């Protein structure tokens, strides 16, 4: 039976336009296919974890609007435990406007809405019961992140932080993290180091470890991931695929790494499992809809 895990974070509705190339400032380009997909880093990661085999409790905040209603219906179909999702009539549900180029790259603008009203008061103690791992991102208020981390320290729950979108984080927050999973851009923003070589990767991971985080995974897109723990220090390559849409690759990786670690896989196996999930996801359009199922990963 899968170990129960907790994901706390954002829920958005993604409005996606495919286009040959991104417009320059002030330019209008004619796009192609338009899609409306469920998204948001928290929701993406929760769905990815559930599809890859985890028993997921998901906590988020949505507006009492059509987007919030559709999101909740989607979470229910995915089998998430959504008992503690919060609905508000004070804010609209979050949305994201996404442009995807012919090469599969993306540009995203987010209107956070209810996500930035997810407060500690919305998180009852009961959500932490029987939980071994908590996965967080930074699309909810930082004060809420701090509260969750301190709560998890007190309860001996392991916190995985995907620091996206990247902001400068206080040392006392970083000390409570079991695993941090920045990409190259987020690593540079937080550490001041661009991880573009083996030396700079080790320098960046050493920065995180100096703050008290023993386990670091820097995601490097098509190059794979760089893993640093007390036992490992190595690059784990990605699978070679032809990308169609990279929108949620990082989210799928984080959801899958949560599943793998909660399953008891070692670090190498966990990274390989999550890299495979991310590789499959970029061959498909959409965010949550691109996450692979357990049978595809086996």
Catalytically annotated residues? 251
**Crossing angle, helix 66-77 and helix 41-51, to 10 degrees?**
20
59 and 127 in contact (C-beta within 8 Å)? yes
CB count, 10 Å around CB of 34? 9
What's the length of the chain? 298
> What is the spatial distance between Cα 219 and Cα 226, in angstroms, rounded to a whole number?
6
96 and 110 in contact (C-beta within 8 Å)? yes
- Sorted by sequence, the CB contacts under 8 Å of residue 270 that are 6+ apart come out as 257, 260, 261
What's the Cα-to-Cα distance from 101 to each of 168, 272, 284, rounded to whole Å?
30, 28, 14
> What is the spatial distance between Cα 228 and Cα 96, in angstroms, rounded to a whole number?
33
């Amino acid at each position: 039976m899968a170990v129960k895990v907790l994901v706390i974070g954002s829920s958005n509705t993604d409005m996606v336009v495919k286009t040959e190339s991104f417009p320059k400032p002030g330019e209008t380009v004619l796009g192609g296919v338009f899609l409306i997909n469920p998204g948001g880093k928290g929701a993406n990661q929760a769905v990815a974890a559930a599809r890859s085999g985890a028993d997921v409790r998901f906590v988020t905040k949505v507006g009492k609007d059509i987007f919030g209603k559709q999101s909740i219906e989607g979470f229910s179909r995915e089998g998430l435990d959504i008992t503690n999702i919060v609905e508000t009539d004070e804010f609209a549900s979050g949305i994201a406007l996404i442009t995807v180029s012919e090469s599969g790259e993306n540009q995203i603008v987010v209107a956070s809405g209810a996500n930035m009203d997810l407060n500690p008061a919305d998180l009852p103690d009961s959500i932490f019961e029987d939980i071994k791992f908590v996965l967080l991102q930074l699309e909810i208020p930082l004060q809420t992140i701090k509260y969750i981390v301190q709560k998890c320290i007190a309860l001996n729950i392991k916190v995985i932080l995907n620091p996206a979108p990247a902001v400068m984080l206080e040392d006392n927050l970083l000390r409570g993290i079991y695993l941090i999973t920045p990409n190259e851009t987020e690593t540079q923003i937080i550490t001041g180091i661009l991880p573009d070589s083996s030396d700079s990767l080790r320098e960046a991971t050493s920065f995180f470890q100096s703050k008290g985080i023993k386990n670091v995974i820097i995601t490097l897109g098509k190059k794979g991931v760089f893993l640093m723990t007390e036992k490992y220090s190595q690059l784990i390559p990605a699978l070679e695929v032809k990308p169609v849409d990279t929108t949620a690759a990082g989210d799928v990786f984080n959801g899958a790494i949560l599943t793998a670690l909660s399953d008891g896989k070692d670090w190498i196996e966990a990274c390989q499992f999550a890299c495979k999930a991310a590789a499959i996801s970029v061959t498909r359009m959409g965010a949550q809809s691109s996450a692979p199922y357990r049978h595809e990963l086996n």
